[in-house]
Structure 1
Amino acid sequence: LKGPASTNGPLSLSEVSTAGSVSPDGQPLSISSTFLANTPVIYVTAKIVNAPEDTNVSARWVYVRDDAGKTINQQLSEDSATAKGTRYISFSRQASAGAWGSGQYSVSLLVNGKEMTNTQFTVQPVQKADVPAPTISFFKAVPEAISTGQSVTLSWNVTGATLVQISTIGTVPPVGNVIVTPVNSVEYQLTAKNNAGTTAMKTYITVTSFNTDKPELVITDFRVEGNKAYYKIKNIGGVNAKSSTTFLYIEGTKRSSSLADILPIGEEREQYFPNFEWTYGSSRTFKLPVRICADGLNQIGEYDENNNCLVVDW
């Protein structure tokens, strides 16, 4: 469930799960209550319902007992985030020094400091014969075809790997995404390794270049610094682009606009949205779909009117 919904009715937590991965909106993708000690990240997810604005939700991780039955009761961490309305929320914890201690764990979910629910999971030691080669759930490029100067988001999800690499990029975490701006058509290969073997997956990006007698505006990057939202706009066309208006959309709703001044051929410029403050804190456990569109008012006649927008999850 993406985005806040109605807050009518009592606040509650439901659908509490532990999982090996989650979707961009926080829903569990590989639900389990048993994990191997070499699992890189374990997630706890829940659906919060009818949360008032600025509701604080926290997850308290405790190592309860080891695999010999010895009581430990060691609190490992407590992470928190704010929530509003009805949505999925997730918390994660990475293995310490590359491995979890075998035994039983519990995660308590608290709302505004009060424990609402508790879930438990078990970590089993890795037996050499039980370790399979890494699994690549997906490795994709969005979009797969662009014009020169545009950007692409590579995203991936890998489990069971001790090393994950992407060609020309280098070592990356098991789950993540990165924005690339290839000059020419290119193939990227994701390689995941562990002691049992190597798994690889490829994705291909087609880059079309053109020279025209028209301007061509594209958004090449987006970032947030403090409470300001910045973007880069570039003219990849064959003539100068006159002034235009750039729009910012968050979760499908237009939130702000920015005037882009005359942009000469081949020039790229970073600007920000002057009448907008970014109020989404860095501690949240979900990402927001953001779309930045050049020439939002269609003031400029371009060669391609369908490549003005950059879409990212932030």
Structure 2
Amino acid sequence: MATKTYLQALNDALRLEMQRDENVLIFGEDVGQFGGCFGVTQGLFSEFGEERVRDTPITESVIVGAAAGAAACGLRPVAELMFVDFIGVSFDQLFNQAAKMHYMFGGKIKVPMVLRMPQGAGIGAAAQHSQSLESWFMHVPGLKVVIPSSPADAKGLLLASIRDDNPVVFLEHKLLYGVSGEVPEGDYTIEIGKADIKREGTDVTIVATSKMVYSALAAAEQLEKDGISVEVVDPRTLLPLDMDTILDSVKKTHALVVAHEAVGFAGPGAEIAAQVAEQAFDYLDAPVTRVAAPFCPVPFSPGLEQAYIPAEDDIIKAVKGLR
């Protein structure tokens, strides 16, 4: 396997699928000659041309609406919004149209579209460009929500998402684009809705998403020095959510910490904690603990932003608080 960055893995997936399927097209703001705000679509315009890699106006409602319409008509669009924060102006197109067409037409229409969106704090982009909003999409029947943490997962899950016949919200943390890892060459997919155990352990389960997976793994290394064996589970997709893997881990370790960068109140950790309490309460030796962002906008000040983002030390404190 080659070593690639998260960004390169995404680019590789897009190129492979566009070569394989002529119905795949890409559009969004600056995705053409410029190569995307973060460089994910770099080189695709010159290879596939403006018919399949199209720049759009700065109108997110048009981007998402056009993706839904193109998908309903038989194409497989991969649309990009520069930041997940901009999804608000296209809620109707995503939540009321793309997510519901298949249901409302009795299964006669498929909507095979992917909506790629960078999210997350850490680059000093302030309150309107730094949010983690995955829980918004988890609440909508008809969508799938994918949130990979590693380059290999990013490639395999993006290929699977493009081939899926349902609308997929594909969330990429901005600080992961430069992360490197081994990535299988060529065509391969990862099942949507299947979690991955990133580290095995026996004393406590940490369910972590996106960039927080790396904080959880670093915390696990430190906790190992104190004699605490940590199992780290990465759901990889939040809708559908692989509760079987999470429950099996909790039944083994008897303790659970959920870590994510989204705001803690009504965040994805709340759903995971609730389902564990409903289905594995008798296995828990301590209450489920959540490590998440505080209920406030993301600060612009670098010092305040770092205080806002959940960190390795917060996870260590949460784990030790269970004992």
- Indicate the TM-score class for this superposition, using the shorter chain for normalisation: under 0.3
Q: Which has the larger radius of gyration?
A: 1
Higher relative contact order (CA 8 A, sep 6+): 2
After TM superposition, the score normalised by the length of structure 2 is: 0.26
Higher strand share: 1
Q: TM-score, normalised by structure 1?
A: 0.27
